[in-house]
Amino acid sequence: MTRNFNDSYRCDGCGLTGHKLWREYQTLACYTELVCASCASASQAKSPHSSWSGEMLFVDGDQIGWRVPAVTTEDGDTFWGYSSVPADRIAWWYAMPTYQDQTKNAECERNIKRRKKQWDDFMASYARKQP
């Protein structure tokens, strides 16, 4: 039987529900392990980001090592490809808290907003340069 990831969107490491989860990049859904920020951070001995602090705080993006956001399809039978997620599903994922700790969540939110502004500024600059 195929797992419905919308019905069972919980960390396979600690059982946390109602929070953002990550999955392994380029792994078939039937072999996917979903993990929360704490479990994903603990599983990654090293991050490709130089400012990695051991916690997911969205300083360098939304990946944790080789793990990417686990954004399910509407029917929940699989996940969107990392660069193919539609805007409504991105909003769904970002709306969930990252940590149970409210202080960490507040820092994540500030970093997410900062990165979004950087992206919006870049896109506006790019659009102005187009003929």
Interval 81-97: pLDDT, tens: 888 889 899 888 888 88
Indicate the burial class of 106 (C-beta count within 10 angstroms; 0-12, 13-18, 19 or more).
Answer: exposed
Asked if pLDDT for residue 115 goes beyond 50, the answer is yes
Buried b (16+ CB within 10 A) or exposed e, 88-98: ebeeebbeebb
Helix ranges restricted to H, 1-131: 37-43, 87-95, 102-129
End-to-end CA distance of the chain: 53
Please give the average per-residue pLDDT across 28-32, as a whole number: 76
Please give the average per-residue pLDDT across 57-81, as a whole number: 81
Q: What confidence score (pLDDT) does residue 51 get?
A: 45
Cβ–Cβ < 8 Å for 71, 79: yes
Q: What confidence score (pLDDT) does residue 20 get?
A: 92
Q: What confidence score (pLDDT) does residue 46 get?
A: 44
Residue 15 confidence class, pLDDT cut points 50, 70, 90: very high
